[in-house]
Structure 1
Amino acid sequence: MASDDITQLADALSKTHVGDGELSYKGLGLKLDDGESVKDLVREIEQYQDLKALRLEGNTFGVEAAHGIAKVLESKDQLQRCYWSDMFTGRLRSEIPTALRSLGSAVMCAGARLTELDLSDNAFGPDGVKGIEQLLKSPSCHTLRELKLNNCGMGIGGGKILADALTECHRQSSALGAPLKLRVFIAGRNRLENEGANALAKAFQLMGSLEEVHMPQNGINHAGVISLASAMRHNPELRVLNFNDNTFTKKGTLAMAQALRHLRNIQVINFGDCLVRSEGAIALAAVLREGLPILKELNVSFGEITEAAALVVAQAIIDKPHMEKVDLNGNCLGEEGCEALREAMENMHKGDLLASLSDDEGEPDDEEDDEDHENEDDDDESDDCNEDEEDDEISSGNGSPRKDDSPEKPQIPAEMASFLSCPSAEKLLQLGEMRTNLKQHVDASDPHNAADVVLKIASLYSEDPETKTAVFESIDAVLKKILSGSDLHSYCFLSTLLVMMGLLKGEGKMKKVSLVPGQLLCLEHAVQQEYFHHHHASTLHTVMNKNSDALKSCSGAAERLSSALKKKCNDQH
Structure 2
Amino acid sequence: MASDDIAQLADALSKTHVGDGELSYKGLGLKLDNAESVEGLVREIEQYQGLRALRLEGNTVGVEAAQAIAKALENKDLLQRCHWSDMFTGRLRSEIPTALRCLGSALMSAGARLTELDLSDNAFGPDGVKGIEQLLKSPSCHTLRELRLNNCGMGIGGGKILAEALIECHKQSSALGAPLRLRVFVAGRNRLENEGASALAKAFQLMGSLEEVHMPQNGINHTGVMALASAMRQNPELQVLNFNDNTFTKRGTLAMAQALRHLRNVRAINFGDCLVRSEGAIALAAVLREGLPVLKELNLSFGEITEAAALVVAQAVMDKPHMEKVDLNGNCLGEEGCDALREAMESMDKGDMLASLSDDEGEPEDDDEDNDDGSENEDDGDDVSDGCNDENGEYCETVKENGIKEDSPNKSQSPAEVTSFLSCPSVEKLLQLGEMRTNLQQQVDASDPHKAAEVLLKISSLYSEDQEVQTAVLETIDLVLKKLVSGSVLQSYCFLSTLLVMMGLLKGEGKVKKVSLVPGQLLCLEHAVQQEYFAQHHASLLHIVLSKNGEALKSLSSARDRLSSALEKRCNDQH
- TM-score normalised by length of structure 1: 0.96
Cα shift at 1:384: 7.1
> Counterpart of 1:503?
505
Q: Secondary structure at the match of 2:79?
A: coil
Cα shift at 1:371: 3.1
Residue 374 of structure 1 contacts residue 508 of structure 1 at CA under 8 Å; is this kept in 2?
no
> Counterpart of 1:181?
181
1:390-401 matches, within 5 Å, as none
Cα shift at 1:401: 6.2
Residue 123 of structure 2 contacts residue 153 of structure 2 at CA under 8 Å; is this kept in 1?
yes
> Counterpart of 1:39?
39
**d(CA) in 2 for partners of 1:452, 1:5:** 77
Task: Give the residue type in structure 2 aligned to 1:218.
Answer: N
Q: Which string of whole-angstrom CA distances, capped at 9 and with x for unpartnered residues, describes residues 101-140 of structure 1?
A: 0000000000000000000000000000000000000000
1:502-541 matches, within 5 Å, as 502-541=504-543
Q: Secondary structure at the match of 1:152?
A: coil
Q: Is 1:252 the counterpart of 2:252 in the alignment?
A: yes
Residue 460 of structure 1 contacts residue 471 of structure 1 at CA under 8 Å; is this kept in 2?
yes
Cα shift at 1:148: 0.2
1:184-223 matches, within 5 Å, as 184-223=184-223
**d(CA) in 2 for partners of 1:25, 1:41:** 9
**Comparing 336-345 with 435-444, which one deviates more in the overlay?**
435-444
CA gap 1:83/1:400 in 2 versus in 1, 3 angstroms = farther
Q: Secondary structure at the match of 2:371?
A: helix
**d(CA) in 2 for partners of 1:289, 1:302:** 22
> Counterpart of 2:155?
155
Task: Give the residue type in structure 2 aligned to 1:521.
Answer: L
> Counterpart of 1:308?
308
Q: Secondary structure at the match of 1:416?
A: helix
Cα shift at 1:325: 0.1
> Counterpart of 2:93?
93
Task: Give the residue type in structure 2 aligned to 1:372.
Answer: N
Residue 522 of structure 2 contacts residue 563 of structure 2 at CA under 8 Å; is this kept in 1?
yes
Residue 119 of structure 1 contacts residue 150 of structure 1 at CA under 8 Å; is this kept in 2?
yes
1:154-553 matches, within 5 Å, as 154-366=154-366, 368-373=367-372, 378-379=378-379, 408-410=409-411, 411-553=413-555
Cα shift at 1:403: 12
Residue 254 of structure 1 contacts residue 385 of structure 1 at CA under 8 Å; is this kept in 2?
no
Q: Secondary structure at the match of 1:371?
A: coil
Q: Which string of whole-angstrom CA distances, capped at 9 and with x for unpartnered residues, describes residues 303-350 of structure 1?
A: 000000000000000000000000000000000000000000000000
**d(CA) in 2 for partners of 1:128, 1:536:** 52
Q: Secondary structure at the match of 2:573?
A: helix
Task: Give the residue type in structure 1 aligned to 2:85.
Answer: S
Q: Which string of whole-angstrom CA distances, capped at 9 and with x for unpartnered residues, describes residues 445-494 of structure 1?
A: 01101111111111000000111011001100010001000000100011
Cα shift at 1:247: 0.1
**d(CA) in 2 for partners of 1:265, 1:171:** 27
> Counterpart of 2:48?
48
Q: Secondary structure at the match of 1:182?
A: coil
CA gap 1:187/1:479 in 2 versus in 1, 3 angstroms = same
Residue 249 of structure 2 contacts residue 275 of structure 2 at CA under 8 Å; is this kept in 1?
yes
Cα shift at 1:2: 1.0
**d(CA) in 1 for partners of 2:395, 2:467:** 51
Residue 255 of structure 1 contacts residue 385 of structure 1 at CA under 8 Å; is this kept in 2?
no
**d(CA) in 1 for partners of 2:561, 2:88:** 67
> Counterpart of 2:566?
564
- TM-score normalised by length of structure 2: 0.95
**d(CA) in 2 for partners of 1:122, 1:553:** 61
Q: Secondary structure at the match of 1:504?
A: coil
**d(CA) in 1 for partners of 2:458, 2:385:** 22
Cα shift at 1:434: 1.0
CA gap 1:229/1:49 in 2 versus in 1, 3 angstroms = same
Q: Give unpaired runs (5+ residues) of structure 2.
A: none
Residue 382 of structure 1 contacts residue 446 of structure 1 at CA under 8 Å; is this kept in 2?
no
Q: Secondary structure at the match of 1:547?
A: helix
> Counterpart of 1:72?
72
> Counterpart of 2:130?
130
**d(CA) in 2 for partners of 1:382, 1:171:** 40
> Counterpart of 1:105?
105
Residue 79 of structure 1 contacts residue 114 of structure 1 at CA under 8 Å; is this kept in 2?
yes
Q: Give unpaired runs (5+ residues) of structure 1.
A: none
**d(CA) in 2 for partners of 1:162, 1:513:** 49
**d(CA) in 2 for partners of 1:255, 1:201:** 14
Cα shift at 1:369: 3.3
Cα shift at 1:436: 1.9
Q: Secondary structure at the match of 1:510?
A: coil
**d(CA) in 2 for partners of 1:527, 1:78:** 66
Cα shift at 1:163: 0.2
Residue 198 of structure 1 contacts residue 399 of structure 1 at CA under 8 Å; is this kept in 2?
no
Q: Secondary structure at the match of 1:213?
A: strand
**d(CA) in 2 for partners of 1:259, 1:409:** 29
